[in-house]
Amino acid sequence: MTEMTTSRQGARIGEWLAFYGLSVLVALLLSALLVEATGGDWRPVVSALLDGSLRRPGRWGETLGTAAPMLLVAVGTIISGKAGLVNIGQEGQLFVGAAFATYFGFLVGGPGPFNLVIIVIFGAVGGALWAGVAALLKFWRNVPEVLSTLLLVAVGGQVVAYGLSQSWLLLAPLGDRGNRNQVSQQLPKNNRLPSPEVFGNRIPLAVVIGLVSAVAVSAVLARTVWGFRLRMLGRNSRAAQRSGVSQTGYGASALMISGAFAGLAGAVMLAGGGFAFGNYQLVPGFATNIGWTGLLVALVAREKALVAIPVAFVFAGLRTGSSFVGSTGVEGRITDVIQGFLVLALLVPPAVMFIRDRRRAQAAAAERV
């Protein structure tokens, strides 16, 4: 019996690998055809992507620095997903978290290490409070969180824009702004996240924060009572409530923790700087779609925190490599389409397997009758 079970598990793993391999191959072929159709050659494009993300001096450090906030957003998304909640407002939560980090970082001040702690804490608090608005609407007025979190992205953008227009909130003094109208003050050098150099690559501390967060969340969800109850709530809310799990308490906390991780991502982007994230100051458009990409990372990783680590690196590689694609004569934005193909390639196998398993179960049930 054990040998039969092991054999079935091995066959199923083989099927999964075959499906994923075939899907990724099809996505790559479609990407190559797209490049050729736009007048380019796919070989130089692939080489440029590799140069921009890995091979050129300092580039893999840039990719790691870009992957870190994506991973933090994905980890938070996984927590809310385990509770059966759909948080798609990470872009706004990240932006609001960065605004909180900026405001309280300059308001409290203090020496470098202390101020960094303030920035990180209030970044997470800002994201959690903004997600808390959606949690309040969900559990007080029964507003679907998929709508409220999305709409709050636009509201959050306007709130931060107002803050960047007021000198008593976020706007830098006139002498610090130069020709730029709406920017915050720049963080002093001793108030920035350390970025030690490894083999010619700057590796920001945000990378360590992201990796530790992914490992910790994976362990908490798999090995703690809180994680078990959260997963129970996500799979069957009625059974969870009958077992004493508060849907309001656990659901609201999961949504706010999800927002806290997005806000934390905004804080490390602010304090980490140097990776096309505003140069250590808050600016309009600061989030640069990191929140949306982190959501995709969680989706592709199928709500597995450890799997999100390599997925975030791949997405970050596409982002950093895209800056080199323009040298091949192909529009750099084509990497967004390639990213879309890869997302679909990684989402198709689970859907196909689910449909196939369901049909097999229905056929088996029909035979019994």
Domain assignments of the chain as residue spans, ordered by start:
59-309
Report how far residue 76's alpha carbon sits from residue 11's, in angstroms, rounded to the nearest whole number: 33
CB 102 within 8 A of CB 269: no
Taking alpha carbons only, the member of 98, 76, 86 closest to residue 287 is: 98
What pLDDT score does 288 carry?
A: 86
Please write the tens of the pLDDT for every residue from 128-142. 999 999 999 999 999
Q: Which residue has the tokens 């803050």?
A: 163
Report how far residue 126's alpha carbon sits from residue 25's, in angstroms, rounded to the nearest whole number: 41
pLDDT tier for residue 274 given thresholds of 50, 70 and 90: low
pLDDT tier for residue 175 given thresholds of 50, 70 and 90: low
Is a pLDDT exceeding 50 seen at residue 1?
no
- CATH number of 59-309: 1.10.10, 1.25.40, 1.10.3470, 3.40.50? 1.10.3470
333: CB partners within 8 A, 6+ apart: 322
Report how far residue 96's alpha carbon sits from residue 126's, in angstroms, rounded to the nearest whole number: 6
Report how far residue 266's alpha carbon sits from residue 105's, in angstroms, rounded to the nearest whole number: 13
pLDDT tier for residue 180 given thresholds of 50, 70 and 90: low
Q: Give the DSSP H/E element, type plus range, for residue 202.
A: strand 201-202
Report how far residue 250's alpha carbon sits from residue 221's, in angstroms, rounded to the nearest whole number: 13
Mean pLDDT of 161-178: 84
Mean pLDDT for all residues in the chain: 88
Report how far residue 274's alpha carbon sits from residue 165's, in angstroms, rounded to the nearest whole number: 24
pLDDT tier for residue 361 given thresholds of 50, 70 and 90: confident
Taking alpha carbons only, the member of 130, 136, 129 closest to residue 156 is: 130
Please write the tens of the pLDDT for every residue from 242-267. 888 999 999 999 999 999 999 999 99
Which string of DSSP letters, residue by residue, matches 318-329?
HHHHHHHHGGGT
Task: Specify whether the backbone of 20 is left (phi greater than 0), alpha (psi in -120 to 50) or beta.
Answer: alpha
Mean pLDDT of 269-282: 79
Report how far residue 173's alpha carbon sits from residue 75's, in angstroms, rounded to the nearest whole number: 36
Mean pLDDT of 161-189: 83
Q: What is the pTM of this model?
A: 0.91
Integer CA distances (angstroms), 15 to 11, 22, 350, 353, 358, in order: 6, 11, 11, 9, 16
Q: How many CA atoms lie within 13 A of 31 on its CB side?
A: 25
Mean pLDDT of 48-64: 88
Q: What is the CA radius of gyration of the chain?
A: 22
177: CB partners within 8 A, 6+ apart: 171, 183
Give the residue, 200 or 103, on which the prediction is more confident.
103
CA 64 to chain centre: 13
Q: Give the DSSP H/E element, type plus range, for residue 223.
A: helix 205-223
CB 55 within 8 A of CB 241: no
Identify which of 67-81, 236-250, 297-311 has the greatest average pLDDT.
67-81
- DSSP structural state of residue 110: -
Report how far residue 349's alpha carbon sits from residue 15's, in angstroms, rounded to the nearest whole number: 10
Report how far residue 9's alpha carbon sits from residue 322's, in angstroms, rounded to the nearest whole number: 39
Report how far residue 119's alpha carbon sits from residue 40's, in angstroms, rounded to the nearest whole number: 45
Is a pLDDT exceeding 50 seen at residue 51?
yes
